[in-house]
Amino acid sequence: MTLTSLVCHQQAAVHRRRATEAALANVRGISVQAAAAWELEAVAAEKREGRDALKRTVELDVKAIGVVAKLDLQLSENPDQTATVETPGT
């Protein structure tokens, strides 16, 4: 399962809170390091989510271009061209 940036930020907050509430210095140190690690993971997740969103946008654009091309050929005066059109992704 891929972690989302929201989950990573929440985990970082949990560890920061744990660091402020800890009585022992070693627990505080480990919690601070864990929070930093979760923030790094959140940055990676945000980049991944951005790439995924861009990929979905591009896929939608390609489908839209295929639909427009198909409609253009359906309106063509040359009926022989309509048989050669395929929608991208099918």
pTM: 0.60
Domain ranges for the chain, please list them.
5-84
The CA distance from 90 to 13, in Å, is 45
Contact (Cβ atoms closer than 8 angstroms) between residue 8 and residue 48: no
Confidence of residue 18 (pLDDT cuts 50, 70, 90): very high
What number is the average pLDDT over the span 83-87? Answer: 52
Which pLDDT belongs to residue 15? 97
pLDDT digits (tens, 9 = 90+) for 52-78: 888 888 777 777 777 777 766 666 666
The CA distance from 62 to 84, in Å, is 18
